[in-house]
C-alpha cells in the first residue's frame, strides 16, 4: 500500500503547484478607514484566451482518513481556486507532471485560514473537505472546451496522517 502523509500548507511548499491565500502576517494595505487589512492580489488567475472567469459554490461530502486517492485531474485551459466558506481545515492534493503523467502526489493540510489556487495544468485531487458542510467558493475557467484531463492510478495511494 503506497502511503502519503499530509504536510502543513505553506506558500513555499505549494509554489510549484499554485498559490496559497493566507491572511497571516501584515496585510499589503489597510483599507476601510483602517478597519480592514487587504492581502492584495495574491493569486495568479488564468482563464485562457477563449475562456472567462466563473464563480461557483461547491458543497462537497466530507472525507476521512485514511483517504484513498485513485484519481487526480488537471485543467489545461485555466486555473482553479478553492476558497473555503468555513474555518475547517481541508486536504489539498497535488502531483508534479512527469512526461504527461502525475508523479508522486503530495498532500497538504490547510490551517483553516487559507485558500488555494491551482495554476493551469496542475495535477490535483478533487475538492476534499474534512468536515461538513464542505462549502467552498470556487473560481475557475468557464469555456467551450472540457478543460479536464483525468488520471486514474492503477495502484491507488493512501493518505493518512503520520
Ligand atoms: N469538476 C469540478 O468542477 N471540480 C474539480 O475540478 C475539482 O478539482 O474539484
Ligand atoms: Ni479541479
Count: domains in the chain: 1
Per-residue pLDDT of the chain (162 residues; tens, 9 = 90+): 899 999 999 999 999 999 999 988 899 999 999 999 999 999 999 999 999 999 999 999 999 999 999 999 999 999 999 999 999 999 999 999 999 999 999 999 999 999 999 999 999 999 999 999 999 999 999 999 999 999 999 999 999 999
What pLDDT, on the 0 to 100 scale, is given for residue 5? 98
What pLDDT, on the 0 to 100 scale, is given for residue 24? 85
Please work out whether the CB of residue 60 comes within 6 Å of at least one atom of ligand 1: no
Ramachandran region of residue 147, left (φ > 0), alpha (ψ -120 to 50) or beta? left
Report the CATH number that the domain containing residue 47 is assigned in CATH. 2.60.120.480
Distance of CA 55 to the CA centre of its chain: 15
For the CA of 127, the closest atom of ligand 1 is: 9
Spatial separation of the C-alpha atoms in residues 46 and 131, rounded to whole Å: 29
Q: What is the 3-state secondary structure (H, E, C) of 122-161?
A: CEECCCEECCCCCEEEEEEEECCCCCCEEEEEEEEEEECC
CA 121 to each of CA 35, 43, 73, 130: distance values in angstroms, whole numbers, following the listed order: 38, 15, 9, 25
Pocket test for ligand 1, best of 92, 95, 126, 148 (most atoms within 8 A of CB): 126
Please work out whether the CB of residue 91 comes within 6 Å of at least one atom of ligand 1: no
Please work out whether the CB of residue 127 comes within 6 Å of at least one atom of ligand 1: yes
- Residue 108, all three cell numbers: 497538504
- Residue 101, all three cell numbers: 503523467
Show the DSSP H helices in the chain as ranges.
Answer: 11-14
- Owning domain of residue 155: 2-159
Spatial separation of the C-alpha atoms in residues 108 and 90, rounded to whole Å: 8
Residue of minimum CA distance from atom 8 in ligand 1:
126
Please work out whether the CB of residue 137 comes within 6 Å of at least one atom of ligand 1: no
> Which ligand sits closest to the CA of 121?
2
The interface predicted TM-score of the complex, written ipTM, equals 0.92
What pLDDT, on the 0 to 100 scale, is given for residue 38? 97
Please work out whether the CB of residue 126 comes within 6 Å of at least one atom of ligand 1: yes
Q: Which residues contact 26 (CB under 8 A, 6 or more apart)?
A: 37
- Nearby residues for ligand 2 (ion, Cβ within 5 Å): 80
Predicted TM-score (pTM) of the model is: 0.96
Residue 57 CB-half CA count within 13 A = 6
Amino acid at each position: 500500500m503506497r502511503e502519503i502523509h499530509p504536510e502543513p500548507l505553506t506558500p513555499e511548499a505549494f509554489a510549484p503547484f499554485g498559490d496559497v491565500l493566507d491572511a497571516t502576517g501584515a496585510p499589503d494595505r489597510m483599507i476601510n478607514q483602517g478597519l480592514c487589512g487587504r492581502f492584495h492580489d495574491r493569486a495568479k488567475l488564468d482563464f485562457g484566451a477563449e475562456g472567462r472567469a466563473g464563480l461557483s459554490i461547491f458543497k462537497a461530502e466530507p472525507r476521512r482518513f485514511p483517504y484513498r486517492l485513485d484519481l487526480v485531474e488537471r485543467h489545461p485551459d485555466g486555473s482553479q481556486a478553492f476558497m473555503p466558506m468555513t474555518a475547517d481545515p481541508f486536504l489539498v492534493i497535488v502531483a508534479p507532471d512527469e512526461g504527461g503523467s502525475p508523479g508522486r502526489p503530495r498532500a497538504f493540510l490547510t490551517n483553516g485560514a487559507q485558500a488555494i489556487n491551482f495554476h493551469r495544468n496542475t495535477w490535483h485531487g478533487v475538492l476534499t473537505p474534512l468536515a461538513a458542510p464542505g462549502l467552498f467558493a470556487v473560481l475557475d475557467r468557464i469555456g467551450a472546451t472540457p478543460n479536464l484531463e483525468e488520471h486514474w492510478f492503477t495502484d491507488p495511494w493512501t493518505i493518512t496522517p503520520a
